[in-house]
Each structure stands twice: as C-alpha cells, then as structure tokens.
A and B are shown apart, each in its own frame.
Chain A
Amino acid sequence: MFARYPALAFAIATLAAMDGAAAQTANQPPDTMAARVEACTPCHGNKGEGTNDVYFPRLAGKPAGYLYNQLLAFRSGRRKYPPMNYLLEFLPDPYLEAMAAYFASEHPPLPQPAPSEVSKEVLAQGELLATSGDADRSIPACVSCHGPGLTGMQPGIPGLLGLRAAYVSAQLGAWRYGNRTAKAPDCMQLVAGHLTEADVTAVAAWLATRPAPANPAPVPKGTYALPFGCGSQPN
C-alpha cells in the first residue's frame, strides 16, 4: 500500500520519528545555551543582568571577545576567583566561546543608577579622572579606551556601565594586587598601578552614577585608536 502512496508513507515515517524525538526531548533538558549556563545565573542573573550582590558583575551585552578572554583567564587561573576557576576548569575553548557569545547577545535593560554614597567633591574627582585622566600621574581617561559613551569597543574592551561601585573598586584593587591579570601588555594593570585608594573610590562611584545611554552597545572595532598597547585588544 505504501508503494502506491510514497508521500503518505514518508509522512507517517516522519511523524513517527518526530514523535520519538518529542518523547526523547521531554526527558531531556532544553537544548539551549540558556539551560547550559544555568550554573552562571545565581550570581550573574538569568540573562546576565547581574544580581543583588554588588560584587558580581553584569555580563549581558559586553563584547563577546572580552567575555571570552575572561573565561579563558578564569579557566587557566590567570584571573583568580576560585569559584569561577573551579567551574570552568575542564570546559573546552569552543564552549567558552559559545557562552561568551550567549551573554554578549543578551540585552536586558541597564539598571537605574543607585544614589551615590560619596560626596559631590569625590564624584567630581571621579568624573575628572574618568573623562580627562591625569597626565601628570600617567593616568589615562577611562573614556580614551572604554569609549566616549563608556560602552566599550568590539571585540575586547568592556563597557563600564551597569556595574556597581563595589565591583569596579574590587577589580581595580585586584589589578593592583595581581589577582586579576590579562594578556601582556596588561594595560589595566599599568593604569590601576597609578591609582590611589582615593582615585579608585572616586572613579568607581562616578561610573556607577552614569545613566543608561540610548545605545548601550559596544562600538565597532577600530572606531577610535587606543592611546597605548593593550594585549586584550590587539590592533
């Protein structure tokens, strides 16, 4: 009979196969990146938007190259944070790339900036350092690498918006003390080395007050030239 109705035979066979596949899928976790990165969500939020814990950063919308570099650095221990070092230790490069691409492609809204706990004078000092730097002390402005809108640049320079002051301050400290390192030339280690505690507090506080820009996406590669070499963003 099927010989006379090949299309029907095909349809039945396909339906049967689909039925089998559906039964299989029902007993399996969703075949999605979202399900695969659930291990990340208690600290970084379901879509990488961050959580209430001020020390855990937002991941969503950062350049994929930046996120991938961080995953590689955590896996090798170059960037030290044992809970992350442990989770990533036995994951292959292509998977880490896929994780980075997943969080880079998520765009939950940036949070409302929280009211700052520091004085106006400190905020003003932070703004000055972030937007103009301090040439006498070899401190470049944040905006000279992270972009005029502080949204970062593809593929390796992260935006600085949507991060809490505690996180930014902790990272600058980690660079100063060598817990966080990146590929040479490790530009942020050099910059952080020139900052005082007061500078760190001021810059971190001012960055956290910045409202979300109309377009929070990182600008394309090569939009502007970097003032000095950076291992994370080869020219």
Chain B
Amino acid sequence: MSETVSKDLHPLEKTLLNWLSEYGPGSDTEIMAGTGMDEGSYRRALQWLLSRDMALILSSAKTVTVELGPIGSDNLEKGTIPELALLEAVGSGTSSLPEIQKNELFERAQWGSAMGALLKARILKKGPGGLVLNDPSGGVFPAIWSSVYSVISDGEIIHLSELDEKVAAEVSGRAPRRGKSRAEFVINETTSSVVEISAPGREAFENARGRSTIGILTREILASGEWKNGSFRRYQVDIPPSRIHIGRLHPYAMFLDSVREKLQAMGFQEMKGSLAESEFWNCDALFMPQFHPARDIHDAYYLEDGVEVEPPSRELGDKVKAAHENGGKTGGRGWEYTFEWDRSLKAIMRSQGTALSARTLGSNPDIPGKYFGIAKCFRYDQVDATHLPDFFQVEGIVLGEEINMRHLLGLLKLFATEVAGATEYKFVPAYFPFTEPSVELHVKHPTLGWFEMGGAGLFRREVCEPMGIDVPVIAWGLGLDRMALLALGLSDIRDLLNPDLARLREMKSTPEKLLGGEDNA
C-alpha cells in the first residue's frame, strides 16, 4: 500500500479504521456505538473501505422481526382482535353480522373482513339461522393472539422465523408493504454484519499515523531499538489456541496415585504381591471352603500346566487345612470336609486383593499396623462396559490389640469422608467368606448419590489363627471404579485402558476431583 493511498484516507475512514484496529472485529451496532457515527456515515465509510480491501466482512446475518402497526396497537389496547371477538359473539348466540356490527369495539368494516377471513378459513359457516361455528379450535387466530400479541405486550422481540408456519403466513399476509398507516403488523428486515480490519487496512492506517508496525518481536528489533519508533500490531487475543500434545501421566494412574496418597496420609503402608497366586493364598488362607458356592463367585483364571507359584510352607498349610476340616485351634468346628492340598497349590491369576492381606498376615506384620494394597485382580467375566479382564482393587488390613467393631466403623466413616468426600454414610450387614461380622459401607456422594463404596469386617479367627495372629484384624476393601470414571468424565470402564491415543488425549486430568478432604471441599 503506497503512501498516496493512505494519505487519501477520508476522516470517516480513519475513524472507522481507528476503531477496528483498536477494538475490532465488531458488529455494526458496536461500531456505531463505539465511534459515534450515524448509520449513514458508517455505511458510507464501510463501503469505501470494503471497495479497497481495507476491511473484511467476517459474517453477516439477516434478521426478520415482527412489530405491531397502528391497527395492531389498537387491537392490543382493546385486548382482542376482530376475529376472536366475532367468534366469541357467535359462540354466545349472536349469529348475524348486522347484530354483531352493533358492537362498536371495532369498525363495521373490520367486523366484515373478520367474518370474511373466518368463513374462508372454514372456521365459521353460514347456516339457515345465520353464522354457525364450524371449527371450535378457531384455527390460527387464537395463536396469533397468544404467540404474537401477548409476547409483544411482554416487551419481547418476535423473530418471524420462530413463529409457527401457519401463524407466520397469516402475520405476513397482514403486514402490507405499502399503506403502513393501516397495517396490523410491520415486518422489519435488517442485516447485521461483523467487520474486521484487513492487513492492508491496518498498514494504511498505521502509515496514515506515520508509524511502522511491528509484527513478531525479534531479537533484531530489540537490539536495534527499532521498536521505539514503531507500534505493535495488535494480536487477536480471543481466538482459540492451537492444540499441542504434551507429555503427561495417565489420568487413571493419577487417580490411583491420589488414593495411594490418601491412604498413606491415614497411616497405611503399602503391600505388593504377585499377579499369579496359589489358591492357597487367594482362597484357602481366607477360609473359603474348597467346595463352597462362595468360591464360585471367585471363578479364577488358571495358569498353564507346569507353571507354579512358590508353595506355602507345609506347616502353615497344615494349620489352614485343620481350620477348614475341623476348626483346628480356632475354637470353631470348621467346614467339616476333606481339604485337598493339591487344590491349594493350583496357580491362578489373583482374583481378589485380599490375597495380599493374607500374605501380610503370614509374614510377621507390625502390631499395631495398617496396610493397604492397590492390586491388579482378575475375574472370570465377559468384558463389557462395566467389566475389564483385569482391574484394580484397593484393600487392606488394620491390626491392633484394641481393635473392635467400633474402630471398623470409624475407619469406614473416615473412608467415606476422606476418600469419597461423602456427605452421608450408613453401614449395612454384609457377607464375606473371611470376615465375621461383615459390613458394607454405603455413602452418599454429592454427585453420584448413594452407592456401595466398600466392604469390611473383622477377619475370622479361622483366618488369623493359622497365621499366628492373635489380635483382632480389620479387613477392608474399596470399590473405586465408579469414582474413577466420574472423576475422569467417562462412562465406559474400557475407556480407562483405551489404546486410542487420540481419545486418551481427550481424557481429562482431574483425578482429584472426587476425592474428599479439605482441599477439595
């Protein structure tokens, strides 16, 4: 753009360019309000700039609005339109036009044309005794009152496009293009544009102001001091940023880590175990009888023949066997069946995190002690929206001389408020093969509502005695999948382990969202 052209800028153009360069892009109304230009001046200036490519129309939209004409305003004041008043008269027994025309609410001609319209629409018909109601619904006319007059009287603007098709047609028909002084409705069409300054426009404007424009700030501009004589091109700061892909932790891993942190803060130490377990540690040590339906619910994956896990000591095995067969030294009578050692040694994929707790009991745990494990577990289930082939369970134990039922409830209460951020909770009697008494924790989460958050109980003596543990032990487990899904904005559990990187990149990093505690209150 040459100096001559920019010097040619008209004062109105300069006003407009000045506004666009400072505040643009903007709509017609914003620009007129911002510059103080009247519509005529603005349109002329814009036309000039557009013709020289110094401005761009980003978008323009046509709006068609309905307003009341003089007749319409009269009707609104009278509280009805002739058609409806006429229908009312016929409805109350007045059946001849001359009779009706005695009513001076409307002019005789208005009554007449209303009758014409109603007959044409077959809402009225002429019977032997005069006018008769043919269509009690009143056709389109009640809607003209309710969706046009009433809305306008409420001070709202009506867009023709938003009206019912039939109503819109009737309204258009009553909005004459000429003779507006007798019009019932007036239809206004306006076009509203959003205008932006173009690069040549900006350059011309800057040149007109006699200064250079700095785009990208470079080392050279800084070194030369050139910026002191120029002005900076204004960036359009409200456009969305481009997406970049950054290194990040998996949100589900972060969720599990935040649970790990919570439990550490409560004084729990973490246990680690093996993906593969013997049935001994997975079931037998937990006093689940080898024949029992309770074992069916833990249907397991067996490892290929010839692959084993380290067997338990025979001494420990015999104690567990005795507890099963006749109670051993536990003070009970056991399950009264023949315990099969071979079954104990079968290698399976760990089906419950409690196997970790059993192993901890059997390896001289701290007393008092608190333990937790976030363990991969494997259940024989079809994979679907709520089941994965393997999933994490969070479980643990609390051992101590003083431990009793009330501590168990206290611990569950702590989980409800600290881990789930629950507002209410309740305890329900439950059944687990290895605990007695057994309790389920139900919590009311601010977002999820009531749900079963976990289970707990006092380990049976038949579990503790063979391990040489003679203090009470609380065993607990928490189901966190639903919380994880909600925290991460997912509904299908398979999305937690999705192999599609594009979808993973959409997964929100909000693992702490649902966890309790003051920070998140």
Q: Do A and B interact?
A: no
Which A residues contact B (CB, under 8 angstroms)? none
